[in-house]
Amino acid sequence: MIAIGILGTHVWSMQCHFDVDVKNMPKGMNLLSLLVLVSMVCMTILTFAGPQPAAAQLIGLLMLAASAVLFWAAIRESSKAGLFAAFDEKLPGSLLQTGPYSYVRHPFYTSYLLLWTGWAIATWNAWALVPLAAIYLAYWLAASGEERKFASTQMAGEYADYAQRTGRFFPKLFGRG
């Protein structure tokens, strides 16, 4: 139920935080939304399909909490940036490098990945790896597209430097490179 509640905040952000016409969503975003819905149903079924060890439930819950904290930190940091939805074709108009963006280039996607990974662990079911892999691929494709768009802007050099310092989804542990 906690994971579904957190997913609800992600839906809220599409309507209230990101600069997107919800009636004219990018095709990739529509596919991603369908993937999220199907994955949510799968994970819910898997959650009730069998017993889970207490340790798996605890690790999953901690990852869900980390996901929510990171999500709201990214919301706070990007509140005036006018960010676009995933797979939007518009070129970015700004480059955020503070708050969670000082560690990872895509903190929203990182928060989503933490949620799905935590939920998969909490189900303690190998079938959870199927939707998890699909979700990881979808966010990797979205992030790759966004990074290519930065290369088409006046911020290309600044973005290249930023990408050297930060990880795509997870912080770099060993400096530049």
Instruction: Dump the DSSP string for 22-88.
Output: GGG--HHHHHHHHHHHHHHHHHHHHHTSS---HHHHHHHHHHHHHHHHHHHHHHHHTTTT-PPPTT-
pLDDT at 177 over 50: no
What is the Cα–Cα distance from 137 to 150, expressed in whole angstroms? 20
Which pLDDT belongs to residue 125?
97
3-state secondary structure of 173: coil
Alpha-carbon distances, residue 46 vs 65, 151, 165 (angstroms): 20, 41, 38
CA-closest candidate to residue 65, choices 135, 18, 13, 122: 122
Structure tokens at 64: 């869900």
As a dihedral over the C-alpha atoms of residue 144, residue 147, residue 151, residue 156, rounded to 10 degrees, the angle is: -150
Whether residue 116 is predicted with pLDDT greater than 70 in this model: the reply is: yes
Helices (H) and strands (E) counted in the chain, each on its own, are 6, 0
19-23, 45-49, 103-107, 119-123 — which is least confidently predicted? 19-23
**132 has a pLDDT exceeding 90:** yes
Question: Residue 41 is which amino acid?
Answer: V
Q: What's the pLDDT tens digit per position in 40-55?
A: 999 999 999 999 999 9
Q: Is the pLDDT of residue 128 over 80?
A: yes
Residue range 142-170: mean pLDDT, rounded: 94
* pTM score over 0.85: yes
Residue 88 pLDDT > 50, yes or no? yes
For 137-148, how does the pLDDT look when each residue is reduced to its tens digit (9 = 90+)? 999 999 999 999
Segment 65-75 shows an average pLDDT of: 95
